Amino acid sequence: MTIHLTFAQLLQKPGLYAFLEMVVFAAFYVRATIGFGSGLIAVAFLSLSFPVKEVVPVVLLLDLLGSLLLGAYDFHEMQWRELSWLIPGSLVGLAIGAVILVHTDAQSLTLFLGVFILAYVVYALVAKPERMPRIGRPWALPLGVFGGIIGSLYGGGGPPLVAYLQMRHLDKRAFRATFQAIALADNVIRGGLYIVFGLLTWPLTLVFATMAPAAALGLYLGNHLHMRISQRLFLRATLALLAAVGVKYLI
């Protein structure tokens, strides 16, 4: 049975506090290693003990921190020509997703999303990630829109963007850098919306401050692993995390 607590009780439960710190550390270790996934991991585990409406704004701030730190570290690796298509598409998708969220049940769309992600993973494994055909840059627009829609509905539009960047055959560091730029734009827009709608409050900002050191340590150590793993292992790690996302949405 899941017991929901408020973040105001956090410091009164040191065991739970230590668990949350470990979750955040692990989430951002993965984020630095393969470039994405922190939101999925953190929200999945933190929402076991806290209301989602409190978890998502805190994780958004942590993701914003991750995007800023990794983006600054990899700034010279960003592929600006890819971003010129991806970011406008993502912003359009965020707006479309917000409309869908208001007028429909987002949960009804999760089956389609899970099938899409798993179909891509199977295709990539059969074709071999390093041998997949290179798609043209105009594909960034529709896949960026798709990613933005998913970002509005589920808090993270990674899968379509990962698919696009993989099929553009970016090396691991360029992939990570370019993804951070898109994530940063998404985080800023969603953060503004959360403030306007009263979802991001001062108490939750204080919780973010207590979690930030664990996220920063995860990013630091994950970056060391990122620099050591091969491109082949990097590609397979991204597919493994995508498969976990797909299964999560199907369930």
- Gap between the Cα atoms of 85 and 191, Å rounded: 22
Q: How confident is the model over 118-159, as pLDDT tens digits?
A: 887 887 777 676 677 788 888 888 888 888 877 666 656 677
Radius of gyration of the chain (CA): 17
For the chain, what percent of residues have pLDDT higher than 90?
12
pLDDT value of position 2 = 43
DSSP 8-state assignment for residue 1: -
The whole-number pLDDT of residue 69 equals 94
Joined together, the tokens standing for residue 48 give 């076991």
**What's the pLDDT band for 217 if we cut at 50, 70, 90?**
very high
The tally of CA atoms less than 13 A away on the side-chain side of residue 39 is 28
Which residues of the chain form beta strands (DSSP E)?
A: none
pLDDT of residue 8: 56
- Structure tokens belonging to residue 140: 């960034």
More confidently predicted of 124 and 231: 231
Number of domains within the chain: 1
Residue 190 belongs to some domain of the structure: yes
Q: Which residue pairs from 138-142 have beta carbons closer than 8 angstroms and sit at least 24 positions apart in sequence? A: 138/85, 139/164, 139/167, 140/82, 140/85, 140/86, 140/89, 140/164, 141/85, 141/88, 141/89, 142/89
| 81 domain-assigned | yes
Q: What was the pLDDT predicted at 218?
A: 94
184 lies in which domain range? 7-250
Domain-embedded: residue 181: yes
Give the rounded percent of residues in the chain with a pLDDT score beyond 70: 86
> Does residue 1 lie within any of the structural domains?
no
Residue 2 in any domain: the answer is: no
Please state, rounded to an integer, the average pLDDT across all residues of the chain. Answer: 80
pLDDT of residue 216: 96
Task: Establish if 202 belongs to a structural domain.
Answer: yes
- Please report whether residue 194 resides in a domain: yes
Tokens 């290179």 identify what position? 134
Distance from CA of residue 33 to its chain's centroid? 13
Give the pLDDT confidence of 10-46 residue by residue, as tens digits.
Answer: 667 777 788 889 999 998 998 898 888 787 778 777 8
